[in-house]
Amino acid sequence: MTTHTTTKDAAPGTPTPGDTVLDARGVTMRFGGLTAVRDVDLTVNSGEIVGLIGPNGAGKTTFFNCLTGLYIPTEGEVRYKDRVLPPKSFKVTAAGIARTFQNIRLFGNMTVLENVLVGRHTRTKEGLWSALLRGPGFHKAEAKSRERAMELLEFIGLADKAEHLSRNLPYGEQRKLEIARALASEPGLLLLDEPTAGMNPQETRATEELIFAIRDMGIAILVIEHDMRFIMNLCDRVAVLVQGQKLIEGDAATVQNDERVIAAYLGEPLADDPGAEEVAEVEAAEAAAAEAAAADTADAETTAGTTGTTGTTGTTTDPAPGKDAAPGKENDR
């Protein structure tokens, strides 16, 4: 696997990898008879980008929900910087964990800047009365929040759209705005649930750089993605969930080459152009079929010419011999 980035190593000055930021132990989440997450242990250390992958329905988002207080795990414990997390999402955010959602959750009728300001509320001390009375403390806090929000918009490249309604942003920019809003709570750990879903390759590449830059700001990252190239380029460690259980955890090479992962999830080893091999096989089979059909036609014409029969059978209705060139192709699809 080629690594296209030069920024995988942490920038000087970032925390030394090693301190455990997130420590999830034995996390199990049951919904009635369904065990969506089963006995999962996962740690994220400072300075790290950790990937969480697995097939659809493997329990990745449910695990995130257990980490962020949206769900209270049926069993297990989640610690952030050595403290057991409170089972309420706003308290988890206040403790230092921020997240983005698989389905974008922005306030569509609010501006880009306002959406980021919403993300800051856990970091502002001004309460309801202060907001209603609009005293000097409120104005000072508000000015500071706006300044920080603008800095974050600058950082993700949306400062020039600060006054646009968020619903008018293209999809890729909405995903970036969600990241800015998450960063507004000044987290120590950022959880990203499919940050590049629906993005084109250029946007995906830019998101990769953005995540490295966030890591370089001293924020640990746990990211769910289906885009294997993106995950393998980005992550120091990757954990694989299958049917709610952690199948394996390791660096990109270990995970990619694990037979169980290939069988359970990847289907085939990563190649520069996954799918190209299959396309080539289908094209070869089609070419062989066409060639065989042409040969049959020629044979029939020759036979008709020499024997005087019509030769109307066996040329179009019989299966072309060339079809056998791709046995089981139907099953492959």
Ligand X SMILES: Nc1ncnc2c1ncn2[C@@H]1O[C@H](COP(=O)(O)OP(=O)(O)OP(=O)(O)O)[C@@H](O)[C@H]1O
Q: Cβ closer to Mg ion: 48 or 193?
A: 193
Query: How many Å apart are CA 67 and CA 65, to the nearest integer?
Result: 5
Candidate residues 54, 96, 187, 195; the one interacting with ligand X per rule CB under 6 A: 54
Candidate residues 45, 61, 115, 233; the one interacting with Mg ion per rule CB under 5 A: 61
Size of the site for ligand X (CB under 6 A): 12
Q: Residues 6 or more apart from 212 whose CB is under 8 A from it?
A: 5, 7, 8, 49, 234
198 part of the interface to ligand X, by CB under 6 A: no
Q: Cβ closer to ligand X: 26 or 327?
A: 26
**Minimum distance from CB of 36 to ligand X (Å)?**
3
36 part of the interface to ligand X, by CB under 6 A: yes
Residue nearest to Mg ion (CB): 61
100 part of the interface to Mg ion, by CB under 5 A: no
Q: What is the dihedral of CA 232, 233, 238, 240, to 10 degrees?
A: -30
Q: Cβ closer to ligand X: 80 or 265?
A: 265
Q: Cβ closer to Mg ion: 112 or 190?
A: 190
53 part of the interface to ligand X, by CB under 6 A: no
Supply the DSSP symbol for 19.
B
119 part of the interface to ligand X, by CB under 6 A: no
Candidate residues 102, 124, 130, 245; the one interacting with ligand X per rule CB under 6 A: 102
Residue 128's identity, in one-letter code, is: L
Query: How many Å apart are CA 230 and CA 208, to the nearest integer?
Result: 7
35 part of the interface to ligand X, by CB under 6 A: no
Tell me the helices (H) and strands (E) count for the chain, helix number first.
12, 10
Phi, psi for 209 (deg, rounded to 5): -65, -40
Q: What is the dihedral of CA 133, 138, 143, 145, to 10 degrees?
A: -120
Query: How many Å apart are CA 107 and CA 129, to the nearest integer?
Result: 24
Q: Cβ closer to ligand X: 37 or 95?
A: 37
Distances (CA, A) of 92 to 273, 302, 312: 40, 81, 76
Q: Which residues bind Mg ion (CB under 5 A)?
A: 60-61, 102
Q: Which residues bind ligand X (CB under 6 A)?
A: 31, 34, 36, 54, 56-62, 102
